[in-house]
């Protein structure tokens, strides 16, 4: 009897050690291929978005291969027009900005120094603490060099891009085997929920892309025109940054507004003031009136949830993580509602309970049996 117990204990320990070793190897592998997984996630998001116009054409008796050719051709034409009309201007202004960056930094330092010198009390306090003003202002050229050190080589970027595009194209052309593989992860009783979750994910992602394209184009045009009128250097560059910054909710505002304000500040404080007012007004108009109408009911994501997702994804995966934060939040929301939210019994007194917390009032008496 003792031998049997020892044998069972030995098998249990061996099984536990095997599982632990397998888990460690799996975590190590995931750590090594985390960037590949992020690219795959981005590819899945693009496939779900691009599939919508392809399916729309396919429903109108156009073969899927030809529909894919039309959609990808339209995308290629848009990209080509962008490179022909917009990119050269951005390239010229970006080169000028980089070349004049030390000049802008020195002028900004002088302007701020003059403000400190005009305020004797503040200047005396700074000198009394032994703080050098030049150390308070970050070195923009050094910052630019630091960012450039982390960039990928041109050759590897091109190879990754080719593989990525090929993956997206093949998935859009023939999605059925991939969907069969997707449904194989779910028991037959759960496959209907899996279908609903993926369908809702696709709807939210398309709403997200549509709103970003429309709102991003509007903001980019407004920024480019206004900064050109105000003679702020690099207007086309800041417009391009605005177009992509809208992909990062809330935090994107600071990405698109702070650099041109600093450049304007190095030229003229009054110009910087007008640029600041413009960005604040643009953010209010787009955030309160335009974006809600564009997004409508396709994406019902609370701003706090998206900001938390941006912070987590950005900290873990850098810029690409911040860009994918909103789609990932939409995916999590869709699968949570499909698989878990339906299990929770609807509480008729939920609004009363919430009001009691918000307004710090417990006048409404509720019971769990109601």
Write down the pLDDT at residue 91: 85
| Residue % of the chain over a pLDDT of 70 | 75
Which among 332, 46, 37 has a CA at the least distance from the CA of 205?
46
- Rg, the chain, Cα only: 27
Does residue 72 register a pLDDT over 90?
A: yes
Greatest mean pLDDT among 38-52, 122-136, 150-164: 38-52
Q: How confident is the model at residue 152 (pLDDT cuts 50, 70, 90)?
A: very low
Say yes or no to pLDDT of 33 above 80: no
> Which whole number is the average pLDDT over 84-113?
79
Where does the pLDDT of residue 173 fall: very low under 50, low under 70, confident under 90, or very high at 90 and above?
very high
Q: Is residue 7 pLDDT above 80, yes or no?
A: no
pLDDT for residue 294: 63
pLDDT at position 284 = 83
Segment 183-196 shows an average pLDDT of: 89
- Cβ-count burial of 307 within 10 angstroms (0-12 exposed, 13-18 middle, 19+ buried)? middle
pLDDT at 3 over 70: no
- Write the DSSP assignment of 117-161 as a string of letters: HH-HHHHHHHHHTT--HHHHS--HHHHHHHHHHTPPPHHHHHHHH
DSSP string, 7-23: HHHHHHHHHHHHHHHHH
Examine the pLDDT at 30 and tell me if it is beyond 80.
no
Summary mean pLDDT of the chain: 78
Flag whether pLDDT at 367 surpasses 80: no
Cα–chain center distance at 148: 21
More confident residue, 48 or 306: 48
Given a cut of 80, whether residue 185 has pLDDT beyond it is yes
CA distance 304 to 254: 17
Distance CA 81, CA 85 (A): 6
Average pLDDT of the segment spanning 56-73:
92
Q: Does residue 35 carry a pLDDT above 90?
A: no
Q: Please report, for residues 14, 18, 25, the alpha-carbon distance to residue 22 in angstroms, rounded to integers and kept in the order given.
A: 12, 6, 5
How confident is the model at residue 153, as a pLDDT? 56
Task: Give the tokens for residue 264.
Answer: 């304007």
pLDDT in tens, 190-227: 889 899 999 988 888 888 888 888 888 889 999 999 99
Q: Return the pLDDT at 275.
A: 92
pLDDT classification of 319: cutoffs 50, 70, 90 = confident
Specify the pLDDT at position 71.
Answer: 93
pLDDT level of residue 150 (50, 70, 90 thresholds) = very low
The number of beta carbons lying within 10 Å of the beta carbon of residue 179 is 13
The pLDDT of residue 368 is 44
- For residue 370, the model assigns a pLDDT of 42
Given a cut of 70, whether residue 257 has pLDDT beyond it is yes
Q: What is the DSSP letter of 343?
A: G
Q: Say if residue 151's pLDDT is above 70.
A: no
Q: With a cut of 90, say whether residue 254 has pLDDT above it.
A: no
> Does the pLDDT at position 125 exceed 70?
no
CA distance 344 to 270: 56
Q: Could you write out the DSSP letters of every residue in 165-193? A: HHHHHHHHHS-HHHHHHHHTTS-GGGHHH
Sorted by sequence, the CB contacts under 8 Å of residue 53 that are 6+ apart come out as 67, 71
Distance CA(42)–CA(34), nearest Å, equals 12
Q: What is the pLDDT of residue 126?
A: 45
Confidence of residue 147 (pLDDT cuts 50, 70, 90): very low
- Count Cβ atoms below 10 Å from residue 257 Cβ, excluding itself: 22
């Amino acid at each position: 009897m003792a031998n049997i117990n020892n044998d069972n204990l030995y098998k249990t320990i061996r099984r536990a050690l095997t599982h632990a070793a397998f888990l460690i190897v799996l975590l190590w592998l995931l750590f090594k291929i985390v960037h590949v997984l992020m690219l795959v996630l981005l590819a899945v998001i693009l496939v779900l978005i691009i599939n919508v116009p392809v399916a729309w054409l396919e429903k109108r008796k156009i073969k899927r291969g030809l529909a894919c050719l039309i959609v990808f051709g339209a995308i290629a034409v848009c990209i080509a027009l962008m490179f022909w009309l917009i990119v050269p201007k951005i390239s010229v202004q970006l080169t000028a900005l980089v070349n004049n960056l030390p000049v802008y930094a020195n002028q900004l330092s002088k302007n701020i120094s003059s403000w400190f010198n005009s305020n004797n009390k503040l200047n005396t306090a700074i000198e009394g603490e032994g703080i050098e003003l030049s150390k308070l202002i970050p070195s923009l050229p050094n910052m630019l060099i630091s960012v450039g050190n982390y960039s990928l080589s041109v050759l590897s970027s091109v190879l990754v891009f080719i593989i990525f595009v090929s993956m997206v194209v093949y998935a859009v052309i023939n999605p059925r085997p991939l969907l069969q593989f997707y449904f194989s992860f779910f028991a037959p009783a759960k496959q209907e929920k899996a279908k609903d979750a993926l369908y809702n994910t696709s709807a939210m992602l398309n709403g997200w892309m549509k709103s970003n394209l429309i709102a991003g184009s509007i903001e980019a045009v407004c920024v480019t025109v206004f900064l050109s009128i105000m003679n702020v250097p690099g207007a086309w560059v800041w417009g391009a940054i605005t177009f992509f910054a809208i992909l990062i909710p809330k935090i994107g505002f600071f990405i698109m507004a702070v650099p041109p304000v600093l450049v304007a500040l190095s030229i003229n404080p009054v110009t910087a003031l007008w640029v600041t007012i413009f960005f604040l007004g643009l953010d209010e108009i787009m955030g309160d009136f335009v974006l809600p109408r564009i997004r409508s009911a396709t994406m019902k994501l609370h701003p706090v949830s998206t900001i938390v997702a941006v912070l987590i994804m950005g900290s873990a995966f850098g810029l690409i993580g911040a860009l994918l934060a909103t789609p990932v939040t939409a995916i999590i929301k869709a699968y949570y509602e499909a698989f878990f939210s339906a299990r929770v019994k609807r509480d008729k007194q939920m609004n009363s309970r919430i009001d009691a917390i918000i307004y710090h009032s417990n006048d409404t008496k509720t019971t769990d049996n109601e």
